[in-house]
Chains A and B, each alone.
Chain A
Amino acid sequence: MEALTNRVKPVDRRKMNFWERIYLPAVVKGLSITLKHFFKKKVTINYPEEVRPFSPVFRGLQILNRDEEGRENCTACGLCALACPAEAITMECAERKPGEEHLYREEKYAAKYEINMLRCIFCGLCEEACPKDAVYLSETFAPANYQRKGFIYGKQDLLIPDPKTDPEGFAKAKGSRIKHPQGHGNEH
Chain B
Amino acid sequence: MYQNQILLAIDWILFTEKLVLIIVVVMVSLFVAMYSTYAERKVAAFMQDRVGPNRAGPFGILQPMADGMKLFFKEEIVPNFSSKFLFILGPILAMLTAIMVSAVIPWGDKLFIFGREVTLQIADINIGILYIFGVVSLGVYGIMIGGWASNNKFSLLGAMRAASQIISYELALGITLIALLMITGTLSLNEMVAQQKDNLWNIFLQPLGFLIFLICAFAETNRTPFDLPEAENELMGGYHAEYSSMKLGFYLFAEYVNMFLSGAVMTTLYFGGYDIPFVNDANLVHTIGQNWVTIIEGAVFFIKICLFIFFFMWVRWTVPRFRYDQLMNLGWKILLPLALFNMLVTGALILLRQNHWHF
Partner-B contacts on A (CB < 8 A): 27, 30-31, 33-35, 37-38, 40-44, 46
Contacts and interface: CB of A to CB of B under 8 A. Distances in A.
Nearest to A44: B51
Contacts of B315: 27, 31
A42 B47 contact: no
Given A27-B318, A27-B319, 12 more contacts: A30-B319, A31-B318, A34-B317, A35-B47, A35-B314, A37-B47, A37-B49, A41-B49, A43-B49, A44-B50, A44-B51, A46-B51
A3 to B, nearest CB: 28
Contacts of B49: 37, 40-44
B16 to A, nearest CB: 44
Given A46-B51, A46-B54, A38 B318 contact: no
Contacts, number: 35
B287 to A, nearest CB: 37
B46 interface: yes
A157 B151 CA distance: 56
Interface string B307-345: 000000011011100000000000000000000000000
Contacts of A33: 318
A38 B319 contact: no
Contacts of A46: 51, 54
Interface of B: 43, 46-51, 54, 314-315, 317-319
24 contacts: A27-B315, A30-B318, A30-B319, A31-B314, A31-B315, A31-B318, A33-B318, A34-B47, A34-B314, A34-B317, A34-B318, A37-B47, A37-B49, A38-B43, A38-B46, A38-B47, A41-B49, A42-B50, A42-B51, A43-B49, A44-B49, A44-B51, A46-B51, A46-B54
Nearest to A30: B318
Contacts of B314: 31, 34-35
A31 B43 CA distance: 13
Label chain A's interface by main secondary structure.
helix
Pairs of residues from A and B, 5 with the lowest C-beta to C-beta distance, nearest first: A34-B318, A34-B47, A44-B51, A30-B318, A38-B46
A31 B54 CA distance: 25
A44 B47 CA distance: 13
A46 B52 CA distance: 11
Contacts of A31: 314-315, 318
B75 to A, nearest CB: 24
A102 B54 CA distance: 51
Contacts of A43: 49-50
Contacts of B318: 27, 30-31, 33-34
Contacts of A38: 43, 46-47
Given A27-B319, A31-B314, A31-B315, A37 B48 contact: yes
B244 to A, nearest CB: 28
Contacts of A44: 49-51
A27 B317 CA distance: 12
B78 to A, nearest CB: 34
B199 to A, nearest CB: 27
Nearest to B334: A22
Nearest to A37: B47
Given A27-B318, A31-B314, A31-B318, A37 B51 contact: no
A44 B315 CA distance: 23
Nearest to B55: A46
Contacts of B51: 42, 44, 46
Contacts of B43: 38
Most buried by A among B51, B54, B318: B318
Nearest to A32: B318
A33 B319 CA distance: 11
Contacts of A34: 47, 314, 317-318
Nearest to B54: A46
B53 to A, nearest CB: 12
A13 B315 CA distance: 27
A96 B339 CA distance: 95
B59 to A, nearest CB: 12
A68 B51 CA distance: 46
A178 B76 CA distance: 56
A27 B225 CA distance: 11
A18 to B, nearest CB: 12
Contacts of B317: 34
A33 B49 CA distance: 12
Nearest to A42: B51
B214 to A, nearest CB: 11
Nearest to A31: B318
A77 B104 CA distance: 86
B339 to A, nearest CB: 15
Contacts of A42: 46, 49-51
